[in-house]
Every structure is written in C-alpha cells, then in structure tokens.
Amino acid sequence: MMVTENMKRSLKMIFAMAVIVGLAVFTGAGALIQAAAKGRTYSDVSTIPFRRVGLVLGCSQRLSDGRANLFFAHRVSAAVQLFKAHKVDYVIVSGDNHVVGYDEPTDMKKALVRAGIPAERVYCDFAGFRTFDSIIRVKEVFGQKRITIISQEFHNQRAIYIAEAHGVDALGFNAEDVDSFNSFRTRLRERIARVKTVLDVCLLRTHPKFLGPKIEIGEGSQQGFGRYVAQRAIREG
C-alpha cells in the first residue's frame, strides 16, 4: 500500500501527540510525588525528629557484575547513623526474598549488626517485594503508623507518597546518593516507577502481594514469622 503525504502527516501528528502525552504523564507523576514529600525528607541526622521505628527499603547487596552496590552500602550507613543518634529505636529491613539464595532483608540485617546495631533491634520483612508492599506492610503487618523511611532521596519521596495515601505518617532520611554514572539505570527505572505508583494509588487501588500474620515490634521473637511470610508468598506465587 502506498503511503500518501496525508498519511505521513497523520502519523507524524500521532507520534508527536504520543510524545507530548508521555512527557505530561511522567512530569505529572513526578510533581505529585515531590509535592507529597515536600518538607518531609532530611539529610542531616541532627534535625530529623525521633520516630520509634525506621524502615530501610531493600536492594541487592551486589550488582550483577559482582561489584558492591553503593545504594545498599549507603542505606545501611544511614540507618546506623539514625540508630546511633537515638533517632530510631528499632529498624525494619524490608526487601525481596522470593527465591532461594536471594535475601535482601537478611543481607541488610547482617550489615547493620556488623555496624553495631543489636540484632534484637532489627526486624526483617521478607515480603517487601517492592516499595509499595513495604509501606503497606509496615502498617498492616508491623502495626506502625509513624515511621522514618531510609533510602536515597528520590526513593524516599515515592515511598512518602505511598505512605500518605495509606494513612502512614512518614518522614524520609536521605542516604548518600550514588553518582549519575553508577545510577543511570536506577534513575530511569525510578521515572517509570513513579508513573506506576501514581496509577497504583489513584486508579488501580493495588494491594500488596502478601500480608500475613501480625508482628509486634519490641516484643518477643519475630524472625520465624517473617520467614513464614516469605515462604508462604513464594508458594502462592
């Protein structure tokens, strides 16, 4: 079929409209998330208010090429700063443990304990498959409605947006960022994640993949419950 000049002009117009709509969607999602987090993130440990529980958002300890993941190292360091400054009493490490041999929460807990936080002050959430799940679970499973989220600032902003939409009073403590060269793909994924997050909150009414039994912070043993949550989630797919 011959492509006429009119058809070419129409295709160009459709492409241009798609680009404009796409930019508007990405820009709008980013603006909503930044507005929700305005004035709620801190980079100075001396100025952030006390919250009984800090929530560290998980990531892999090492990159696919075997190098240390700086996002992981900086989040651990930030959590240690908060704890040693008496700005949190307990830390929940929330991450992915969906396959054998990949265990973000345990890796983070071990790193925190090596850095001087007592093991009994660190709680593992083995079903924090994504940021959305981690935030909902900190309220529904761990019973926390006032928390300090610990991650890089761009990540804290998105987590605070989710928290605000689900009745969690959250602050963010900003871990040291990673340079642009080593974080390009993460930054790109974050732009997409922001659009998905706004859709989850405003349109899709998304729920966590799994909740599970309640876990009390500061009372009794909880790691067995956490492991049960992970294994149950894996079995249910």
pLDDT digits (tens, 9 = 90+) for 37-66: 999 999 999 999 999 999 999 999 999 899
155 with 176: CB under 8 angstroms? no
Q: Which two tokens stand for residue 123?
A: 């709680």
Looking at every residue in the chain, the average pLDDT score rounds to: 89
At 25 the pLDDT is 74
**CATH classification of the domain holding 72:** 3.40.50.620
Q: Is 221 exposed, middle or buried (0-12, 13-18, 19+ CB in 10 A)?
A: exposed
Higher per-residue pLDDT: 187 or 118: 118
Whether the pLDDT of residue 234 is over 50: the answer is no
Q: Which two tokens stand for residue 231?
A: 């294994």
pLDDT 10s digits, 157-166: 999 999 999 9
Residue 23: inside a domain: no
Number of separate domains in the chain: 1
* Residue that has been written with the tokens 């190292």 in this structure: 73
Residue 66: inside a domain: yes
Residue 5: inside a domain: no
Residue 22: inside a domain: no
At 174 the pLDDT is 98
Whether the pLDDT of residue 142 is over 80: the answer is yes
* Residue that has been written with the tokens 């909880």 in this structure: 222
φ and ψ of 31, to 5 deg? -65, -40
Whether the pLDDT of residue 219 is over 80: the answer is no
Residue 226: inside a domain: yes
| Residues near 119 by beta carbon (within 8 Å), at least 6 away in sequence | 109, 113
Residue 114: inside a domain: yes
Q: Which of 216, 218, 224, 215 is nearest to 88 (CA)?
A: 218
Whether the pLDDT of residue 86 is over 90: the answer is yes
The H or E element containing residue 224 is helix 223-236
Residue 9: inside a domain: no
- The three-state secondary structure class of 226 is helix
User: One-letter amino acid identity for 100?
Assistant: V
